[in-house]
Amino acid sequence: MRRSLALVLALLLSPVLALAQPVAAPEGTPGGTPPASSPPAETPSETPTAGSEPAAASQPERAEDPSGSPSGSPSGSGAQGSTGSAPAAAATPPAPASRGLDLADLVSQSLVLHGYFRTRAELFHNFAIGWDDPRLLSTVEGAYAGSLWPWVRNPENGLRNLCSTDPPPRGTMRVPASCSNNSQTSANMRFRLNPEIHITDSIRVLAQIDILDNLILGSTPQGYYTNGLASPWAPITGFASTQVAPNQYNSYASSIAVSRAWAEVTHPSLGQLRFGRMPSHWGLGILANAGNGIDSDYQSHADRIMYAAAVRSLGLFFAAMWDFASTGASSMNPIHEPGQGQPYDLAQLDDVHQWNIAIGRRLDPAEVRLRLARGDVVWNGGFYGVYRYQTLSGESYNANAGQDQRLATDSYGTAALLRRDARAFIGDLWFQLLGPSFRFELESAVIYGATSIDRAGMSDGGRRYDILQFGGALEFEYRLMNNRLALEFRSGFATGDSDLEGLTFQTGLLAPRRASATSLSLFRFHPDYRVDMILWRQVMKQVSGAYYFRPGISYAFVDHPGADRFWGRASVIWSRASEFVQTRGNAADLGLEGDVELTYQSNFRHTNPGEPPAPGFFASLQYGVMFPMAGLGPRDEERQEGQDYRGFSFSTAHSLRGLLGVMF
């Protein structure tokens, strides 16, 4: 199969791979130059990360000499005859000349494919937690919108003109039924490719390509078009007989998305240079998270030029990075040379400039395994620092990208640019302690700076806000019974903001703020740092303005290292708001959630956060239940007799998930 894939890709990649073509040895020499081998699979590509070091140049493997003796022929002179005299030697055909690898072999040895295919099915029940009660929606104008609950509710509730429990009129085909439905179901898929092209032992190009990325199954049927057109084959989707590839007419996402592409050049003594759009990961992933897991949905990408070096004998690493966080408006537009030429950044003061450093200690995974096998304790850790600033801001001008920007220079320089003067210092400390039977890991980050958050059309008048945000996460596990049983504890904290209304990621910097507000203190975890199944993962999308405690236990029913592993996990998560006045109910308690899962994985191996999973088959069944608490509901005075929310009661939320995947 690999050779078949190589044949397909040969024509596409032949110009690049020609650089790696070995030169055939002249006649009479043992053989051609051996092909470069792939670097070790455990070499991580997502940096900056506390878990990654510059990829070492791999050693070439000795290629077998293709010009050996023909099968069945004796070596040396011919066999001696019965008379004892040596007969005349038979003419020996000349050895065939050594040849270089053909293109298909070259592609198969220079191209390495990693990635996965996954399909997920999910059931969400009562995720509106009571805010979509039909009685409430019919009596209180804007009740759901005013709940500050970010979940998009099921629109079937309250469709009285289409559904009714009353008997239908005579002669109609309507079935008497209520459309009230508190459940939502969905299934999606993703095919992710992470190709690596190894030009030489020390030069490679990497990318990430998503095909049908999180495509909702059944979302692009024949006859469905977002522009309102009808298909002659299926004028209504009830007659659809097939699915159609996502395109600009039936979907907001394309069928293929290239989210990363970067190159790495490694020198065994001087270090490594990386450049392009690459993954970014550090520590546990609460600030920068590569999102490489098979169940991941969010990632940190960085347009970056990076230099990294390591002292492998000591486990020390250092990296310096220049990030292009945002360049503002460019000369690219749909009128002039679409897809041609070289667009450029129009202005400089609206750029977000960012520089990063990472320094710390992390031993090679093989060295860690060796020391743990001896009973030693291993520590890793480091510091990740970021400085960014922006003088002017041109978001309002970017919204007009469909115009010819070459003719709008004057308006861009006067009306569309705003004074931003944004400054931020970000420091992130990560520490890990590993023992034969335990793991303790801690990450804490602080963001300090100042900015104005006004936009064109806002009446803030360029008000300045001080920024001081803090967040941290802790993970601990203790393993028993030959590592089959694990006692787990996780906790995290993110500062809140008493001047904000709501905890969700949608509020952000431009959320409704109190008139006296002078600071921004809401810290938000990276959304791919998962702590539960319902509140923070699905509804709020990320931990923000809250703290949580999560004790848990896991047990491996089948545990064969490097082979099959089947395990179960159960955990309880108690979440509270850091600033109680920030919640809808002006109460700190947010909810109590219980999650359980059963998971099977073939070819299992332990990986660090940010590292890709091991190749194999993956299957998981998960269930979660959340009991909402006072902070997520109306205030006490709003529930009194005669008030709008009298009689309000919470609904318990449930989630059921299934995941099937193949990793390679």
What is the per-residue pLDDT across 448-478, written as a single tens digit (0 to 9) for each?
A: 999 887 654 444 446 788 999 999 999 999 9
**Among the ranges given (174-178, 217-221, 487-491, 636-640), the one the predictor scored with the smallest mean pLDDT:** 174-178
Nearest alpha carbon to residue 147 among 626, 655, 536, 644: 644
pLDDT band at 106 (very low <50, low <70, confident <90, very high): low
* Phi/psi at 47 (5° precision): -130, 155
pLDDT of residue 296: 95
Host H or E run for residue 439: strand 438-452
pLDDT band at 443 (very low <50, low <70, confident <90, very high): very high
Greater confidence (168 vs 401) lies with: 168
Number of H helices, E strands in the chain: 6, 19
pLDDT of residue 554 exceeding 70, the answer is yes
Six-digit token string for 111: 């191209």
pLDDT of residue 88: 38
Greater confidence (172 vs 437) lies with: 437
Structural domains in the chain plus CATH codes: 113-334+346-663 (2.40.160.100)
pLDDT of residue 294 exceeding 50, the answer is yes
pLDDT of residue 110: 87
pLDDT of residue 226: 58
Greater confidence (312 vs 123) lies with: 123
pLDDT of residue 536 exceeding 90, the answer is yes
pLDDT of residue 380 exceeding 90, the answer is yes
Average pLDDT over residues 137-153: 78
pLDDT of residue 90: 42
Quick: pLDDT tens for 46-59.
444 443 333 333 33
| CA separation for the pair 390, 522 (Å, rounded) | 20
DSSP class of residue 531 equals: -
pLDDT of residue 4 exceeding 60, the answer is no
Average pLDDT over residues 413-424: 73
pLDDT of residue 89 exceeding 70, the answer is no
pLDDT of residue 400 exceeding 60, the answer is no
pLDDT of residue 525 exceeding 80, the answer is yes
Greater confidence (561 vs 77) lies with: 561
pLDDT of residue 24 exceeding 60, the answer is no
pLDDT of residue 26: 36
pLDDT of residue 545: 94
Q: State whether residue 309 is helix, strand or coil.
A: strand
pLDDT of residue 369: 87
CA-atom Rg of the chain in angstroms:
30
Quick: pLDDT tens for 320-371.
999 999 988 777 766 666 667 788 888 888 899 999 999 999 998 889 989 9
pLDDT band at 613 (very low <50, low <70, confident <90, very high): low
Nearest alpha carbon to residue 355 among 384, 382, 316, 395: 384
pLDDT band at 512 (very low <50, low <70, confident <90, very high): low
pLDDT of residue 11: 44
pLDDT of residue 484: 94
Quick: pLDDT tens for 484-509.
999 999 999 999 998 888 887 554 44
pLDDT of residue 404: 36
| CA separation for the pair 32, 373 (Å, rounded) | 42
| CA separation for the pair 352, 423 (Å, rounded) | 10
pLDDT of residue 17 exceeding 60, the answer is no
pLDDT of residue 584: 92
pLDDT of residue 240: 80
DSSP class of residue 455 equals: -
Contact 358, 51 (CB under 8 A): no
pLDDT band at 12 (very low <50, low <70, confident <90, very high): very low
pLDDT of residue 632 exceeding 60, the answer is yes
**Among the ranges given (39-43, 192-196, 508-512), the one the predictor scored with the smallest mean pLDDT:** 39-43
Average pLDDT over residues 120-142: 84
Greater confidence (302 vs 520) lies with: 302
pLDDT band at 28 (very low <50, low <70, confident <90, very high): very low
Write down the mean pLDDT value for the chain: 79
What percentage of residues in the chain have a pLDDT greater than 90? 49
pLDDT of residue 224 exceeding 80, the answer is no
pLDDT of residue 423 exceeding 50, the answer is yes
Average pLDDT over residues 140-167: 73
Nearest-5° angle of CA 188, CA 229, CA 217?
10
pLDDT of residue 30: 36
- DSSP E strand boundaries for 459-545: 464-480, 485-494, 519-520
Who's near 631: CB < 8 A, 6+ residues apart? 576, 577, 580, 583, 584, 585, 586, 587, 588, 589, 590
Q: Is 36 exposed, middle or buried (0-12, 13-18, 19+ CB in 10 A)?
A: buried
pLDDT of residue 419: 80
Greater confidence (588 vs 328) lies with: 588
pLDDT of residue 40 exceeding 50, the answer is no
Average pLDDT over residues 169-196: 79
pLDDT band at 429 (very low <50, low <70, confident <90, very high): very high
Average pLDDT over residues 433-458: 86
pLDDT of residue 406 exceeding 50, the answer is no
Average pLDDT over residues 637-653: 87
DSSP class of residue 457 equals: T
pLDDT band at 395 (very low <50, low <70, confident <90, very high): low
Average pLDDT over residues 606-620: 75
| CA separation for the pair 192, 215 (Å, rounded) | 12
Nearest alpha carbon to residue 554 among 620, 614, 615, 616: 620
